[in-house]
Amino acid sequence: MKTVVLGGYGNFGARICRALAPSPGIELIIAGRDLDKASALARACGHGAVAARIDIHDPQLTQALRALGAELVIHTAGPFQQQDYGTALATAAAGAHYIDLADGRRFVCDFPAALDDAFRRQQRIAITGASSVPAMSSAVVDHLSAGWRSIASIEMCIAPAQTAPRGVATMSAVLSYCGAPIQVWQDGRWTTQLGWAAPVTVAYARLRPRLASLCDIPDLELFPAHYAGVRTVMFRAALETGISQRGMAALAGLRRLGLVRHPERFAGLLNRAADGLNFLGSALGGMVVRVHGVDGAGMPARRAWHIAADNDHGPEIPCMAAVLLARRLAAGTLGAVGAYTSVGQLTLAEFEPEFAKWGMVTDLGE
């Protein structure tokens, strides 16, 4: 399967390319606006990987994908909060399958309704949000609640390592909702809270407790619809250094007061500033997912899943779902045609060999 990775030499794209290059049934094409960078990575990946110059904003994108013989397009060129569905529609028109790493709430949540017809007409599959959320997060929730009668609450928190590589696109995505009002399903009703404001302390199995704040991700909207009866869904992020977390909270306050209208404009500056704090942090990051509900015997139950990623391997986690789904497409084992979110597309067991490859440690707790 000829697989084109858009943004293939970026922070996440390069990791996906390195993982897919030796995968059976996949012919890798590393694509982006800089042909030299794409070519260098293709040489490093080996296994017949080739490079191509492609700009996702090119009005001739469909023709470019057809010329490459694309059978699968993996879109990693974020931030998705500021994108429309042009790349996905061009992919459908080219007759290829589509996967992306989108974490933009509207982009992911509105994706099936906007694109299902286009991909069904082509008899192709499109999956959005093939990343830590909601692909892996939903796999974890399904695992923790297996056999339960109901789920009452889902709480998730990601805790990146301070020294792990960060991309400007990721920083821009994060800043886009810093201080912005976010709809959160809490105690059975929608409430409005501010992104990155009001930090709280979150505990982990193998990391020290950290301050964490609300993030706007698709799970906040998808999970109340997918898990019938759930009354609370929360997702937070916890930066390793307290000064960074409090700085984000302060920026959220400035936006609420109208003193800073578009924090994402400072993505490059703040990304460089974050590097200057690396001496205060470590290479250890992780994530925790906690669920509360009623088990199969009708008794109250609580379960938690933790993952710890050392040696700055944390950024591999957001890439795993796209890799797993691409391999399943190449093997012909991925579901029906049409456009879908990644909720429920993978099981936690499918992720576990990827965790092991990077020496990541998981813990289950009652």
- Say whether pLDDT at 7 is over 80: yes
Say what the pLDDT of residue 39 is. 98
Q: What is the pTM of this model?
A: 0.94
pLDDT category of residue 229 using cuts at 50, 70 and 90: very high
- Written as one letter, the residue type at 16 is I
Which of the four pLDDT bands, split at 50, 70 and 90, describes residue 335? confident
Rounded average pLDDT over 250-273: 90
3 state SS of 173? helix
Residue 1 has pLDDT above 90, yes or no: yes
pLDDT category at 181 given cuts 50, 70, 90 is very high
pLDDT tens digits, residue range 65-102? Answer: 999 999 999 999 988 988 999 999 999 999 999 999 99
Contact 220, 239 (CB under 8 A): no
Report the pLDDT averaged over residues 336-364: 97
Residues 267-284 have a mean pLDDT of 90
Residue 272 has a pLDDT of 87
350 residue type, one letter: E
CA distances from 129 to 75, 259, 264, 347, 353 (A): 10, 32, 21, 15, 21
Looking at residue 166, what is its pLDDT?
77
| pLDDT interval class at 261 (50, 70, 90) | confident
Q: Which of 156-160, 264-268, 325-329 has the lowest mean pLDDT?
A: 264-268
* Alpha-carbon gap, residue 199 to 172, rounded angstroms: 20
Cα 59 off chain centre by: 27
Residue 169: what pLDDT?
Answer: 81
Strands 27-32 and 2-6: parallel
**Confidence bin at 172 (pLDDT 50/70/90):** confident
pLDDT of 265 reads 87
- Whether residue 167 is predicted with pLDDT greater than 80 in this model: the reply is no
DSSP 3-state of 267: helix
What was the pLDDT predicted at 162? 94
Has residue 184 got a pLDDT over 90?
Answer: yes
Token duo for residue 341 = 């979110």
Three-state secondary-structure class, residue 247: helix
- Provide the pLDDT confidence category of residue 173 given band limits of 50, 70 and 90: confident
Confidence of residue 200 (pLDDT cuts 50, 70, 90): very high
Average pLDDT, the chain: 95
CB atoms within 10 A of CB 123: 11
Give the DSSP H/E element, type plus range, for residue 217. Answer: none
Q: Is the pLDDT of residue 366 over 80?
A: no
